[in-house]
Amino acid sequence: MNQNNIEEPKDEFELGKVIVFDKPLKWTSFDIVNKVRYLLRSYRGLKKIKVGHAGTLDPLATGVLIVCTGKKTKEILSYQEHTKEYVATIRLGAVTPSYDLETQIIPQSDASHITEKDVVDCLKTFLGEQLQYPPVYSAKKIDGKPAFLLAHKGRGDEVKMRAQQIEIFDLELLEFDDMNKEFKVRVGCSKGTYIRSLAHDFGQRIGTGAYLAGLCRTKIGEILLKNAVTIENFEKMLAESQK
């Protein structure tokens, strides 16, 4: 014990661990945090362990989610400052209120005339620093409350989102599906960038409407998806450590 009779943490997760998860589809970021906390209580007996994530990932997105435990939770803000990389699937010819598949699809303009070259040329116009409006269906606070709460109550039209300064420094077309008029693009961007907003804005600019049909975060700073663990493997690791 130290001079204040406070017992020093002994478990490695209390001392602090940074765990890189591959977040599964339909899990919220807080679902992962709560699951980690539950597992640490169950397998390690840590009743008051600090656990937090370093950057929200939407439920309909997969990929890199950084979770910090114990004393490492003090580093969460530093991870949030890092640049991000995503692989996004964007579908043309329709929009949704949430800019992704969370809400109903509303057909817009016919996209049959859009070519791969059209997509590449339009993507180029999004490179660089710019102002971007977050989706109404987001956790951005409006008068102290998350905007999505108003949106889900059908009051989305009342919400006035504030533009955010962001930077998109890399856009690479990976695939173009001419039959279904959707494409995959690798996006390198600053913190605070909403890929859902990018998809929506792309649709407005190219003239057909568009929404985000799929999203995977592949990188945060130098932390890569290939080095991430699943929540199932994390639980197996904890179980093995108790044998």
In DSSP terms, which residues pair with 188 in a beta bridge? Answer: 85, 170
* Whether 58 is catalytic: yes
**Torsion sign (Cα): 29, 226, 99, 194:** positive
Q: Looking at 11, 22, 31, 58, which residue is catalytic?
A: 58
As a whole number of angstroms, the distance between CA 75 and CA 178 comes to 44
Nearest of 54, 62, 47, 46 to residue 213 by alpha carbon = 62
Residue 214 in tokens: 């799929």
Residue the block writes with tokens 């990929």: 63
Using CB atoms within 10 Å of the CB of residue 146, give its burial: 0 to 12 exposed, 13 to 18 middle, 19+ buried. Answer: middle
Compute CA distances 213 → 87, 115, 216, whole Å. 11, 19, 11
Torsion of CA 89, 95, 96, 102, to 10 degrees: -20
- Number of other CB atoms surrounding residue 141 within 10 Å: 9
As a whole number of angstroms, the distance between CA 149 and CA 138 comes to 9
Q: Give the residue numbers marked as catalytic.
A: 58
